[in-house]
Chains A and B, each alone.
Chain A
């Protein structure tokens, strides 16, 4: 596949790795805030190529696993209704709510369907006028243009049987929340490439300046991530704290204007609770008043549950780089991938889940 496979070249990856080894003189903590990047790091074993002085901290980059418990419980309640066809991206199906998950609701007779795109859900609504079609709109800014256009089209088609449960989250507020925590050890960021393809990277200049952290917009293939790490380390070693763009083949500074326009038209910024982190102000997107008719929360009157996060879960500390997953008392005991307590164990790429998989190889993850 062009513009993909060539960025997985082993020899060139080793070349980047050698350069990173050559220039690294001090220990550095670098965070990537994107599930896709975490996935690539784990899948290709990228951190194995890096010098031990560099610690990659996996940030809360998986919108699926930071979806708050309350939202999942609302999804489960709606999905169980007989008149509803509940559509969702595949990765949401196994995420546990307070008591169960969408897969179990499906097993219990709920009509839960995986779709590739929110446009598929709109198609279902047109094809099934007697049913209520609900789409679970999770994701970062990358996915918001897709859900925005789906709602816009549903409104154009005057569909009455379509609505969305919106739980979009925004990256820059999460970065600020992490960086403003007193014990935060993150010194540099790889910014999520596809989020920036949509939003541009204007917002990161003030963050880099305020917290004195280099931020490098980075892609998703091994060469991208290694170059992003290299550029971050170059900045750290020379005391710079700037915003740079490694993923320039897909990201422009101003981002995607038509996408941003439609997001502004359909959504409004709202406070959002992040599972395992807590509420971050102005960190979510919800439906604006013009499209309130498509808001599944209002349509189905799902009560605002208040759900307590597990007291044992320390994913917040993991995300800030304060502890490593195996240093959490619940790790591997009360909390495992089969019964996760927090966001970082829910996703298979979450920091805790990744550590769990490697628990029999402590030297590979520096856990000794």
Chain B
């Protein structure tokens, strides 16, 4: 569970950590979300938002790993093909 969408923080407001709110840009649509649970998230970071709450900061390095894995798989596959 379940429906949570990645968006980019474009502005932050609020002083109290639990009241921290951010304006999030989801592919052109702006919507406000609570940043209470991502205290280290800053403007420019991407967060995963579920029902108006950012639950996690997107780790950009980890995000590439799916594609790196696929690339390695593809290279291995080519090696296999060349061998046989």
The reply to whether A2 and B55 form a contact with Cβ atoms under 8 Å apart is no
List residues 45-77 of chain B with CB under 8 A from any CB of chain A.
Answer: 46, 48, 50-53, 55-56, 58-60, 62-63, 65-67, 69-70, 73-74, 77
Q: How far is the CA of A223 from the CA of B67 in the complex (A)?
A: 9
A249 in contact with B55 (CB, 8 Å):
no
Q: Is B39 located at the chain interface by the 8 A CB criterion? A: yes
User: Are A140 and B1 touching (Cβ within 8 A)?
Assistant: yes
Contact B66 A223 (CB under 8 A): yes
Distance from A84 Cβ to chain B, minimum over Cβ atoms (Å):
21
Interface centre among B4, B19, B26, B34 (most CB of A within 10 A): B4
Asked if residues A143 and B50 are in contact (CB atoms below 8 Å), the reply is yes
Task: Please give the distance in Å from A273's CB to the nearest CB on chain B.
Answer: 18
Q: Is A36 in contact with B1, judged by CB distance below 8 angstroms? A: yes
Contacts of B17 in A (CB 8 A): 258
What size tier do the contact residues of chain A reach?
A: 35 or more
- Map CB proximity to B onto A126-142 as digits: 1 under 8 Å, 0 otherwise: 00000000000001111
Q: Are B50 and A250 in contact (CB-based, < 8 A)?
A: no
Q: Is the CB of B51 within 8 A of A194?
A: no
In chain A, what residue has the closest Cβ to B76? A19
**Bound state CA distance, A224 and B2, in angstroms?**
14
Chain B: residues with Cβ within 8 Å of the partner, total of 38
Per a CB cutoff under 8 Å, which of B27, B38, B69 touches A227?
Answer: B69
State the total of A-B contacts with C-beta under 8 angstroms. 133
A248 and B62 in contact (CB under 8 A), knowing A139-B1, A143-B1, A194-B1?
yes
B18 with A149: CB separation less than 8 A: yes
Given the interface pairs A142-B1, A152-B18, the reply to whether A249 lies near B67 with Cβ below 8 Å is no
Chain B residues within 8 Å of A6, by CB:
67
Residue in contact with A248 in the complex, picked from B8, B55, B65, B77, CB distance below 8 Å: B65
Which of A149, A192, A252, A258 contacts B1 (CB under 8 A)?
A192
Query: Can you name 28 A-B residue pairings with CB atoms under 8 Å?
Result: A1-B27, A3-B58, A4-B27, A35-B1, A36-B1, A36-B4, A39-B2, A62-B1, A89-B51, A117-B51, A118-B51, A139-B2, A141-B1, A142-B4, A142-B50, A142-B55, A145-B37, A146-B51, A146-B52, A153-B18, A194-B1, A248-B62, A248-B65, A249-B60, A250-B48, A250-B58, A256-B56, A262-B36
A-B contact sample (15 more), CB < 8 A, given A63-B2, A120-B52: A1-B26, A7-B66, A12-B67, A16-B70, A36-B4, A119-B34, A142-B4, A146-B50, A153-B18, A171-B1, A194-B55, A249-B62, A249-B63, A256-B55, A259-B55
